[in-house]
Amino acid sequence: MDLEVLHTPVMVKEVLGFLPNIEQGVVIDATFGFGGHAKAILSRYPEIFLIGIDRDWESIKRAADTLRGFGRRLAILHIRYDEPGAFDKAVAVAMEVVEASSKTTIFPVAAVLLDLGVNSYQLDEGSRGFSYTKPGPLDMRMDTSKGVTASQFLQEVSFADLKELFYENGEYKYATKLAKEIISHNPITTTQELSQIVEGVIPKSMRRRGHPAKRVFQALRIAVNEEITFLADALGAAFEVLTVGGRLLVLSYHSGEDRTVKNKFSLFATGGCSCPKNLPCRCGALIKGKLLTKGSLVPTKEEIADNPRAASARLRVIEKIQPIYLKDFQ
Ligand SMILES: C[S@@+](CC[C@H](N)C(=O)[O-])C[C@H]1O[C@@H](n2cnc3c(N)ncnc32)[C@H](O)[C@@H]1O
């Protein structure tokens, strides 16, 4: 099956545009999904090695079969990119595959790509429990072999925390009522039940921004999978394994994710200097990166027309530089 049917990769042209001259390199695709970006990168650079990471075994299984043609240039790890040591593991595997291929040159980590969130197959397959329109168990785990399902999460979470979760995700007006109604209906075991509860809370007149359950499902999914909890640390670990001149590219789809990426990139690019703005730096701030995107890049109108799910994408890219003290720069 054509993998694009299951997930259409986002901003591929822009991603490739930020990967010049990586012929003798290793790329870590930390959110491999259906391998759309991986395939584009491996095809563009016939010498590189790519290590994919994904926590969803189902997605890996479906994608891996179709990408067999890349042989040993592609290895996929079923782990979380945000678990301790994940990027070191990816580097260790890269070293093994490069060695096994009898290459004599050193292949540094030239790029790490993170295309955050869920893939379209996860969203569209009712049995995974992410869909507010398709019937299924209220699961929402990307890795179905561990962790708590969305149904269990709702039974364990406090009213205050649930209200906060919805509020943070943009349900300013209905956060309290949603949390109250949902908790009073526990246990909620199917996606349909949850959708109906949300529809009962949010009046028809307030549904101009799409299906009322969309943001509620998104907020729950992010919480169940701890999508933002360890993101900042993971960005640090990804940046760490890059060679000088290597690039970290992050595509995010949610304001909370993008804020985390922006803040972390800004820390790499400024060293987190805490000195007064009009005085030379005395705090020892060390600059480690150069921002390659001014703010963030968004998809073209044409791409959004072809793939509406790309609409919320934001791409940020930073290049690792030889560390320099901010004071030596001023
Ligand atoms: C937007 S999709 C990536 C799609 C991919 N770029 C492509 O072209 O097919 C995000 C993927 O990241 C995976 N994912 C999300 N969080 C993860 C984590 N913490 N560790 C590993 N994989 C994760 C999801 O399972 C999903 O397959």
pLDDT, one tens digit per residue, over 229-252 is 999 999 999 999 999 999 999 999
Substitution candidate for ligand 1 out of 142, 257, 315 with most atoms within 8 A of CB: 142
Query: Distance (Å, rounded) from C-alpha 224 to C-alpha 148?
Result: 7
**Are the beta carbons of 104 and 156 closer than 8 angstroms?**
no
Q: 160-164, 199-203, 259-263: lowest mean pLDDT where? A: 199-203
pLDDT for 224 beyond 60:
yes
Tokens 């199917």 correspond to 190
Output the pLDDT for position 17. Answer: 98
Q: What global pTM score does this model have?
A: 0.96
Provide the edge-to-edge strand list for the sheet that holds 74-77. 74-77, 49-53, 26-29, 109-115, 247-252, 314-325, 286-291
Are both 132 and 218 inside the same structural domain?
A: yes
Reply yes or no: is the peptide bond before residue 187 cis, omega within 30 of 0. Answer: yes
Going from the C-alpha of 162 to that of each of 64, 170, 171, 308, the distances in angstroms are 37, 13, 11, 29
Output the pLDDT for position 208. Answer: 67
pLDDT for 276 beyond 80:
yes
Confirm or reject: Cβ of 119 under 6 Å from ligand 1.
Answer: yes
> pLDDT tens for residues 151-190?
999 999 999 999 999 999 888 789 999 999 999 999 999 9
Which residue's CA lies nearest to atom 18 of ligand 1? 80
pLDDT for 309 beyond 80:
yes
pLDDT for 226 beyond 90:
yes
Are both 206 and 266 inside the same structural domain?
A: no
Are both 178 and 299 inside the same structural domain?
A: no
Are both 86 and 235 inside the same structural domain?
A: yes
Structural domain ending residue among the three candidates 199, 224, 249: 224
Are both 178 and 232 inside the same structural domain?
A: no
Structure tokens belonging to residue 208: 């101009």
* Confidence at 277, pLDDT banded by 50, 70, 90: confident
pLDDT (mean) for 221-235: 97
**Are the beta carbons of 129 and 149 closer than 8 angstroms?**
yes
Are both 137 and 203 inside the same structural domain?
A: yes
pLDDT (mean) for 137-155: 98
**How many angstroms is it from 117 CA to the middle of ligand 1?**
6
Structure tokens belonging to residue 327: 């004071």
Query: Distance (Å, rounded) from C-alpha 56 to C-alpha 74?
Result: 17
Structural domain ending residue among the three candidates 197, 224, 251: 224
Are both 234 and 210 inside the same structural domain?
A: no
Confirm or reject: Cβ of 117 under 6 Å from ligand 1.
Answer: yes
pLDDT for 4 beyond 80:
no
CATH of the domain at 109: 3.40.50.150
Q: How many domains does the chain have?
A: 2
Substitution candidate for ligand 1 out of 31, 50, 221, 226 with most atoms within 8 A of CB: 31
Return the bridge partners of 52, or none: 29, 76
Are both 18 and 52 inside the same structural domain?
A: yes
C-alpha Rg value of the chain to the nearest Å: 21
Are both 112 and 133 inside the same structural domain?
A: no
Output the pLDDT for position 91. Answer: 97
Are both 105 and 135 inside the same structural domain?
A: no
Are both 186 and 271 inside the same structural domain?
A: no
Please state the φ and ψ torsions of residue 210, each to the nearest 5 degrees. 95, -170
Structural domain ending residue among the three candidates 168, 196, 224: 224
Q: 9-18, 206-215, 254-263: lowest mean pLDDT where? A: 206-215
pLDDT for 202 beyond 80:
yes
**Are the beta carbons of 114 and 53 closer than 8 angstroms?**
no
- Domain of residue 78: give its range: 3-117+228-329
CATH of the domain at 185: 1.10.150.170
Which residue's CA lies nearest to atom 4 of ligand 1? 33
Are both 244 and 220 inside the same structural domain?
A: no
> pLDDT tens for residues 19-62?
988 999 999 999 999 999 999 999 999 999 999 999 999 999 99
